[in-house]
Amino acid sequence: MALCVLLLGLAGCKGNGKVSAERQKAFEDSLISIITEANIPMIQAKYTAPGDTVYCQVGITPWAEDSVRKADYEHEAIFQAASLSKVVFAYIVLKMYDLGEIDIDRPLYEYTDIERFTDKEQAKKLTARLILMHRSGIDDWAASPSSDEWPTSQINFTFPVDSIFGYSGEGYAFLQRAVEAIKGADIQSIAKEYVFDPLGMNLTAYEWIPEFEGITTASTRRNGESQGVRQFPRQNVAYTLRTCATDYSKFLSVILNGTGLKPSTHALMITPCSGPATQFPPKVRKIDEKKSIYWGLGLGIEENPHYGRVLWHWGDNGNTKALFVILPAEKKTLVYFANSGAGHDIVEKVTALFFNDNEPFDIGEWIREE
């Protein structure tokens, strides 16, 4: 990729009025350096701490038809949230649980059909709790979820239900069908009711909305080749959310503080639900030896010797990546989106920039070995 010489003209970084222009400029320059080295066209990030907020959106190529379809940098760009979609959905399920609309330990076949499952007896054991903690035993996907074949593809089990951690988008999609059956509405409508409208997340949706026109980032390969602005054939809580750092940061504040949930339910979400989230044999990884990564009801948890409990989730739609990190003890949050397949190469550099962590979190290694 030929770098644009007008780097500063493609950079935007805003604080809350309490952050000096010099400090904002330092963040901006550091992010430009990070994405230039990694050959990432654009990154958008938002960091919050008590009395401190920094928002940055920087790029190393001009906003053009094959990058972002609007050459007006005053607009916040829209990115694919990828699996950060799942955390919003998990919050919705837990809010419904508090309202008595769903029992997270009731078998889901009592809410919706299990026709696609090859093993009906195993399928009858599935509950919302098991799916949110990724102990469903289901393959990640029965088929590519954006394919024509996916809606009727057969769902198989890799392991018996509740026997082992196994990340599964298919499990979340099954829970989505149960939630939609309970509410009699699609997930976009439900999310607007429970999350987007109350939080003022006006640039966030599980489906394409008119507001996304002209300000949505294109996915790019590692070599910088644009893959265009991807369209999804259907709403899917596992990966189709589009959003921006400002909107998603509002949601992270809710997760940090437990807003809208009973204290006991919030505790379920952010507390390890079972043993370490290690990969199953024969896929054993070096990072698994540390046994530092766990799962709550809908998000990842790192037990860190310096920061204590760290809440996080990553997003990976191939040629677009995302990550959030919450430090509950310090009341700090960070989310970033990168429209490149190289977007997770920079995890440690981005977290070090905002958190000044002396030793890298285990999150980056866990993600890249996943």
pLDDT, tens digit (0-9, with 9 covering 90-100), for 129-176: 999 999 999 999 999 999 999 999 999 999 999 999 999 999 999 999
How far apart, in whole angstroms, are the C-alpha atoms of residue 131 and residue 114? 15
Average pLDDT (71-90) is 86
SS3 261: coil
Residue 307 CA to chain centroid, in angstroms?
A: 21
Neighbours of 317 (CB within 10 A): 22
How far apart, in whole angstroms, are the C-alpha atoms of residue 315 and residue 323? 6
Which pLDDT value is given to residue 61? 67
Q: State the pLDDT confidence band at 65, using cuts at 50, 70 and 90.
A: very low
285 versus 216: the higher-pLDDT residue is: 216
Whether 92 shows a pLDDT value over 80: the answer reads yes
Whether 29 shows a pLDDT value over 60: the answer reads yes
Average pLDDT, the chain: 90
Which pLDDT value is given to residue 72? 43
How far apart, in whole angstroms, are the C-alpha atoms of residue 101 and residue 183? 8
Which pLDDT value is given to residue 281? 67
Whether 282 shows a pLDDT value over 90: the answer reads no
Which pLDDT value is given to residue 63? 46
Which pLDDT value is given to residue 9? 32
Which pLDDT value is given to residue 3? 32
Average pLDDT (311-327) is 97
Whether 344 shows a pLDDT value over 60: the answer reads yes
Q: State the pLDDT confidence band at 307, using cuts at 50, 70 and 90.
A: very high
Average pLDDT (87-102) is 98
Instruction: State the sign of the Cα–Cα–Cα–Cα dihedral 26, 27, 28, 32.
Output: positive
Which pLDDT value is given to residue 149? 97
How do residues 212-262 score in pLDDT, each as one tens digit? 998 999 999 998 888 999 899 999 999 999 999 999 999 999 999 999 999
Which pLDDT value is given to residue 284? 76
Whether 105 shows a pLDDT value over 80: the answer reads yes
CA dihedral of residues 162, 316, 142, 369 (deg, nearest 10): -60
CA atoms within 13 A on the CB side of 325: 29
Whether 73 shows a pLDDT value over 60: the answer reads no
Whether 6 shows a pLDDT value over 50: the answer reads no
Whether 66 shows a pLDDT value over 80: the answer reads no
Distance (Å) of CA 44 to CA 21, 77, 288, 320: 18, 8, 30, 12
φ/ψ of 327, rounded to 5, equals: -110, 90
User: In terms of residues, how long is the chain?
Assistant: 370
Whether 310 shows a pLDDT value over 80: the answer reads yes
279 versus 149: the higher-pLDDT residue is: 149
> Which runs of consecutive H residues, i.e. helices, occur in the chain?
21-38, 84-98, 120-123, 128-132, 169-183, 187-191, 197-199, 245-257, 263-270, 347-355, 363-369
Residue that is written with structure tokens 């397949």 in the block: 341
Nearest Cα neighbor of 248 from 185, 195, 209 is 195
SS3 333: strand
How far apart, in whole angstroms, are the C-alpha atoms of residue 231 and residue 50? 37
Contacts 24+ apart (CB under 8 A), 122-126: 122/157, 122/160, 122/161, 123/155, 125/161, 125/162, 126/161, 126/171, 126/174
Average pLDDT (23-32) is 93
Q: State the pLDDT confidence band at 359, using cuts at 50, 70 and 90.
A: confident
For a pLDDT cut of 70, what percent of the chain falls above it?
Answer: 90
Which pLDDT value is given to residue 370? 62
Nearest Cα neighbor of 296 from 268, 318, 315 is 268
Which pLDDT value is given to residue 279? 76
Residue that is written with structure tokens 């799962």 in the block: 295
Whether 17 shows a pLDDT value over 90: the answer reads no
Which has the minimum average pLDDT: 60-69, 96-105, 316-325? 60-69
Which pLDDT value is given to residue 74? 60
Residue that is written with structure tokens 């770098």 in the block: 3
Q: State the pLDDT confidence band at 369, using cuts at 50, 70 and 90.
A: confident
Which pLDDT value is given to residue 358? 74
